[in-house]
Amino acid sequence: MRFDLLRLFRTKGKPSRDAIEADFGSPDRAARELTLKASFGGAPAQPVELFDMNIHGARVIAPFHFAPSEADGQPVRLDIRHESRQWAVQAHSRVTQLNRWSDDKVMLELEFTQLGALYAQLDNALGRYFNRRGEDRVAPAEGERIGVRLARGPHRVRGLASDLSSTGLCTRAPLVQAAVFRLGEHVQASIDLPGSAEEIEVSGTVRHGYRDGKDVHLGIEFDRGATHGMARRRTEYLKYIERRREAEAHEPGPARRPA
């Protein structure tokens, strides 16, 4: 069933934070308490850095010499530990995307393949590490403008990103233009990151929206295959998220998540 956003926007005010974040299932900083080792194709396990994780998969950063050279669905076993609380979980996955991260590291995007076995290892306490809610969302720096152009068929609307994450973004745009978009509708998004020579293009789905005066905030969830659409720009986008996440960790609380 499709819902007309204009009808939705007649009710002023934001939806609850939980309702918005449930659309994205993103990781939070609790994942940083974990240590990981990865075994590729049955090779001995080696330490890797955790970027983020949810119940569907994880993103890890590994040395070039240890990681596979192609994203060919190679099986990966992750040994996930919480050192201070003394528990460990083993998760089986496959490589779905590989991106160069630095001169000597790559980022691997992994999809968990044996969810039943993973769920069986989780109690309520452990489950919270895999069922995330939006903490990797970041806001642009003060005074920083990140343009977002949304397109569907002949319709085009330009706005500014109010927050971004590894799985989606929220953009503010004029209501009179954005009202043509509907919940659940597929759109193309072009993102103009600071310092980039060209826009990053990615496909997504309109998941939520709320009115803010004469403007509207649209929440776009990237399609599961959208990482392939970003191609070489995926690493650039994720590095921006990481830079802002690190910066926000040192910013005063009220300034970190503007309303």
pLDDT exceeds cutoff 90 at 116? no
Q: How confident is the model at residue 253 (pLDDT cuts 50, 70, 90)?
A: low
Write down all domains in the chain, each with its CATH number in brackets: 3-25+136-256 (2.40.10.220), 29-127 (2.40.10.220)
CB 169 within 8 A of CB 139: no
Fill in the amino acid letter for 95. V
Q: How confident is the model at residue 173 (pLDDT cuts 50, 70, 90)?
A: very high
3-state secondary structure at position 160: strand
pLDDT exceeds cutoff 70 at 58? yes
> Distance between CA atoms of 244 and 234, rounded to whole angstroms?
16
Q: How confident is the model at residue 127 (pLDDT cuts 50, 70, 90)?
A: low
pLDDT exceeds cutoff 70 at 144? yes
Q: Provide CB contacts within 8 A for 81, sequence distance 6+.
A: 34, 35, 36, 37, 87, 88, 89
> Distance between CA atoms of 89 and 77, rounded to whole angstroms?
10
| Of residues 243, 244, 242, 240, the one with CA closest to residue 256 | 244
> Distance between CA atoms of 36 and 90, rounded to whole angstroms?
10
- pLDDT at position 124 is 54
- pLDDT at position 233 is 79
224: DSSP letter: T
Residues 220-242: tens digit of each pLDDT: 988 866 555 566 678 888 888 88
Residues 161-171: tens digit of each pLDDT: 998 988 889 99
pTM value is 0.58
pLDDT exceeds cutoff 50 at 185? yes
* 108-123 as b/e: b if 16+ CB within 10 A: bbbbbeeeeebeeebe
pLDDT exceeds cutoff 80 at 131? no
